[in-house]
Structure 1
């Protein structure tokens, strides 16, 4: 038996598909208009038609967001029950994205255990040698992988943020001081913490990395040159990808979350997908519907799932399958009965 949540999310998906389809269709038609058209009246009518289609798409999207927000409690209920999530923020991440994701994680029954923010200093390629030295000093009692300075730093941060029973955590009680590791990075200007290091240390089961809203400023010109030459990725993005890969390596669940702009060429989500990242990615966050979908992706990752979700070309779906409630018909029936009794 399929419950209410299944039907609700299906309706929301239809709203989103309509909105995206109209927006994309309007953009394609706009691009196809002749540039030498002389009939100003016809051109004006076409412009008005495209504007009207854009307005419809925006209203559909807004309606879908309002619908999701109204029923988010039922969609997300217990999906992250008892799961601690560390939300790691890249420089340039939209603060609204951070707040929206944190709200939906809590709404799903999860706990945001830490909100560390990586700094521009951490991404500075000139600081790589210092990052490596600092990481080695703070890693007493744990093994670090071979690789770049930020492979090693990401592993250290993951060990500091996550519970000791996470993936690849065979070090046991080795004397590693998680709080001291976080404090060391914070004191060195590599990391901002929302609270005390001891509160953030060793409490998470999963990690969410928030992508920059736009390609990293220092990377924009370099990315264009890279695309022409076929060389390696720009330094700032490479540092973030090394860090995200390392966090996934020590976590039971890791998700890279961004808005639609992060999935464009040069964006961090786009680059992660291009190199076949082993963690889940999301490109539709920043709206009510997108943030709820992102929370569902985190829940799926905590259960061992992995995929690329959102609205960009090549994604698996807008959100994970099966949809919420599709496999718990009995529970769904009980939920409906409980709601009827409450009325």
Structure 2
């Protein structure tokens, strides 16, 4: 008869063998996994270095292209707007002088005269200010001004500003005193500032914007677009110029491009921070004078270059 102790010893031996096999097998397997992981890490590091080199190379190309654009931009627009004048209107607190001023300088290089600059504050498009704005704009406008019969503050105020700012072709502009009265009144409401020492009516208008509109973005963009449309209907050439963010969600350029009436009569440029974008602003104004509106910039739906004069 086999002793019970023999069974116990046999079972212990079996379990020891199994445990030893697991340890040996795991050690061998782990060695392969570790080597494989180390190989993958090395490959990923190499790919990362390759991507970094490619990004650095592309950034260098972009810088070189930007420098080239800046070098030739003046030659591309020189004399194309001789005899023309323009007013620049900035929208909201996000627009900086670094965005606005190069646009002004490019139009001046093209031969146009800057007859004034206005900045619309965020209060201009604030729905909570709409009643106050509507009351001011519709109450006793200057003589000869016909405003739309509307309860929309953006439409009425836009029409009033357009009547003051657009130089009518073959007609007489509003007296300087009337212009000063209207702008001072709106300034007193805190909805705009006159940034130039003087302002006289013009035929061309560049509305400069940056980023997304504050909430509620839809209402705010509609108020500014009403002004842009009023300037166009009064005979002005209108281009909305901004950065790529303004062509994205809740941006003014995006709102204009999405509006059938606006997109058919107003041009947009979403590369205004660049020299090539500033050239597009000048060429887009010329195209507007020829009855052509478009969207120009860096998005897939855009034309990269405005019609060449």
State the TM-score, normalizing by the size of structure 1: 0.71
Between stretches 272-281 and 40-49, larger displacement belongs to 40-49
* Partner in structure 1 of residue 162 of structure 2: 158
Tell me, yes or no, if the aligned pair for 2:163 and 2:174 is still in contact at 8 Å: no
* Partner in structure 1 of residue 148 of structure 2: 145
Task: Call closer, same or farther: CA 1:178–1:128 in 2, change over 3 Å.
Answer: same
* Separation (CA, whole Å) in 1 of partners of 2:174 and 2:225: 29
* Partner in structure 1 of residue 205 of structure 2: 207
Task: Call closer, same or farther: CA 1:173–1:267 in 2, change over 3 Å.
Answer: closer
Q: CA deviation at 1:176?
A: 8.7
Tell me, yes or no, if the aligned pair for 1:77 and 1:108 is still in contact at 8 Å: yes
1:261 and 2:245 matched? yes
* Separation (CA, whole Å) in 1 of partners of 2:104 and 2:297: 18
Tell me, yes or no, if the aligned pair for 1:280 and 1:301 is still in contact at 8 Å: yes
Tell me, yes or no, if the aligned pair for 1:138 and 1:181 is still in contact at 8 Å: no
Q: CA RMSD in A?
A: 2.4
Q: CA deviation at 1:109?
A: 0.2
* Partner in structure 2 of residue 75 of structure 1: 76
* Partner in structure 1 of residue 300 of structure 2: 313
Tell me, yes or no, if the aligned pair for 1:142 and 1:176 is still in contact at 8 Å: no
Tell me, yes or no, if the aligned pair for 2:66 and 2:275 is still in contact at 8 Å: yes
Larger radius of gyration: 2
* Separation (CA, whole Å) in 1 of partners of 2:226 and 2:53: 44
Superposed, 1:76-155 pairs within 5 Å as 76-91=77-92, 92-137=94-139, 139-140=141-142, 141-147=144-150, 148-155=152-159
Secondary structure, aligned partner of 2:87? strand
Q: CA deviation at 1:116?
A: 0.2
* Separation (CA, whole Å) in 2 of partners of 1:269 and 1:175: 32
Secondary structure, aligned partner of 2:291? coil
Map Cα deviations across residues 219-268 of structure 1 (whole Å, 9 max, x no partner).
4xxx6xxxxxxxxxx22222222222222222331011111111112211
Map Cα deviations across residues 106-156 of structure 1 (whole Å, 9 max, x no partner).
000001111100012212211101111111136232111244111111111
Task: Call closer, same or farther: CA 1:86–1:43 in 2, change over 3 Å.
Answer: same
* Partner in structure 2 of residue 286 of structure 1: 273
Tell me, yes or no, if the aligned pair for 2:167 and 2:173 is still in contact at 8 Å: no
Task: Call closer, same or farther: CA 1:163–1:45 in 2, change over 3 Å.
Answer: same
Secondary structure, aligned partner of 1:255? strand
Task: Call closer, same or farther: CA 1:40–1:247 in 2, change over 3 Å.
Answer: farther
* Separation (CA, whole Å) in 1 of partners of 2:86 and 2:206: 7
Tell me, yes or no, if the aligned pair for 1:158 and 1:251 is still in contact at 8 Å: no
* Separation (CA, whole Å) in 1 of partners of 2:176 and 2:64: 53
Map Cα deviations across residues 246-303 of structure 1 (whole Å, 9 max, x no partner).
2222233101111111111221111110112220011111012221222221222233
Q: CA deviation at 1:76?
A: 0.8
Answer 1 or 2: higher relative contact order, Cα 8 Å, separation at least 6: 1
Q: CA deviation at 1:210?
A: 0.8
Map Cα deviations across residues 199-224 of structure 1 (whole Å, 9 max, x no partner).
3132x11111111x2112334xxx6x
1:250 and 2:234 matched? yes
Task: Call closer, same or farther: CA 1:43–1:270 in 2, change over 3 Å.
Answer: farther
* Partner in structure 2 of residue 216 of structure 1: 213
* Partner in structure 1 of residue 14 of structure 2: none
Secondary structure, aligned partner of 2:95? coil
Secondary structure, aligned partner of 2:79? coil
Map Cα deviations across residues 79-117 of structure 1 (whole Å, 9 max, x no partner).
111111111000022321101100101000001111100
Q: Structure 1, unaligned stretches of length 5 or more?
A: 1-37, 224-233, 325-343
